[in-house]
A = this chain, B = another copy of it.
């Protein structure tokens, strides 16, 4: 799968169940969100603008992604809503890896530059560093209507949090049909 195909398959509305493991305190927290994911062409104004204010050349982008979320965490019952834009810039020689640019804050702020990689197993790994916090995420499809995501958060004094999300496409009552035997018998 290419990085563009991965996000085309991700487009749509999803219900995301998240559980976070706070590693230092060994406590758990859960939450639920609705996600709306939309792919953007490389010449989309939001994509071009994010590249420019991050001092990256917009013509290197193959794909942009807009993610809008609306959710609640269990602890404080407060709503968590927001949106972000991602831009993918493949490495010229090895397009299954590349730069990942992520918006943060207002429309004037430079984005966070990280790395992406699509593995042979079609799982997407995203690594972003923001100050002293490093987040490594892995996102993969079990079926076209079921995605999983792990996020591991590292700080200078150690790993602090690990999260797991199961994401089901909205309107799908059964998460997914059973895949062909042949696709599960080999790894």
A residues whose Cβ falls under 8 Å from a Cβ of B: 15, 17, 19, 21, 23-24, 26, 28, 30, 32, 97, 115-117, 119-121, 125, 127, 129, 134, 136, 142-143, 146, 148, 150, 152, 154-160, 162, 164, 166, 168, 174-179, 184-187
Contacts and interface: CB of A to CB of B under 8 A. Distances in A.
B150 A148 contact: yes
B152 A148 contact: yes
A145 B127 CA distance: 21
A186 B94 CA distance: 13
A21 B19 contact: yes
Copies of this chain present in the complex amount to: 2
Q: Tell me the dominant secondary structure on chain A's binding face.
A: strand
Given A23-B146, A155-B178, A164-B164, 5 more contacts: A17-B26, A142-B152, A142-B159, A156-B178, A158-B176
